[in-house]
Amino acid sequence: MKTRKLGNSGLMVSELGFGCMGLSHGYGAATAEQEGIALIRKAYELGVTFFDTAEVYGQGANEQLVGKALQPMRNQVAIATKFGFNNGRNTDGLNSRPERIRQVAENSLKYLQTDYIDLFYQHRVDPDVPMEDVAGTVKDLIAEGKVKYFGMSEAGAQSICKAHAVLPVTALQSEYSMFWREPEKEIIPLLEELGIGFVPFSPLGKGFLTGKINASTEFEKTDWRNVLPRFSKENREANQSIVDLVTVIAAEHKATPAQIALAWLLAQTPHNVPIPGTTKVTRLEENIGAQYITLTADDLTNIKQALNNINLLGERYPAILAGLQGK
């Protein structure tokens, strides 16, 4: 697989990463350990060298899975993990105090079976802790050799600039796809200006852009899409026009809708590194196939015009979670 550099940093990764969250958290029952390990190793065999996890994905369970899977090839991959919540649970509120950052780092090093974290993200901006303290603590961890690069997740322009002034931000991870294009307004231009890489999560619109979800789809009880307004039955039905668009383009390129959605992201900037996740080998292979699809300038222009004419319904998060988005 081709590689990409995240912004102006020295961090080179595969142009498609692997989001490991769904193996342990968020989308129903956790995948059996051996199945999860086999899937992560299969991703590596197919050329993926960038793996994403976090403390809150099962309170360390996902990090432990990733650590076991990647231990044999640790020095050939980049592992990203995150800090920023109390008690390792996103339901317990934010906490990016220096002592908490250090505790998460120590826990992550143990869970991941490693002596360094390639990319350490602040999972969400904590309004109660000065950004100078957050970036300063990570800067100290880098000096100690425990962390290599600093990242932020879902941060707003103001926070990115404050952090970047203390410690260069290597990458911002935020949701971005044809299904959620908000970063195009302010965030992506800022990242390009500052030389910061972009790691889109949910690049397939939490599965919606695969064409496998419709108004009649029933999610498992523990699947968090059950509480997302954009995934209500009514909104899924109303938003099918975007799936129809991607399906038509896929047919023209003899590809799948998921591959077109990922190829579109890869074409946006040379510093985009999407991290699709899956629990199935067939979907993993399908996603990785996106690297072989080239969308022409005319394709991209036509897609942009079509997307601009589609009015998607439903908020991204319920009101209780909306306040966690950074400023």
Active site residues: 57
Distances (CA, A) of 292 to 196, 267, 287: 25, 12, 10
Helix (H) or strand (E) holding 152: strand 147-153
The tokens for 109 are: 């090093």
Q: With left for phi above 0 and alpha for psi between -120 and 50, is residue 312 left, alpha or beta? A: beta
SS3 300: helix
Helix (H) or strand (E) holding 106: helix 98-111
DSSP assignment letter at 17: -
Q: Euclidean distance between the first and final Cα of the chain, in Å?
A: 35
Report the Cα 67 to chain-centroid distance in Å: 18
Please provide the DSSP assignment of 194-216 as one string.
Answer: HT-EEEEESTTTTTGGGT---TT
- How many other C-beta atoms can be found within 10 angstroms of the C-beta atom of residue 189? 12
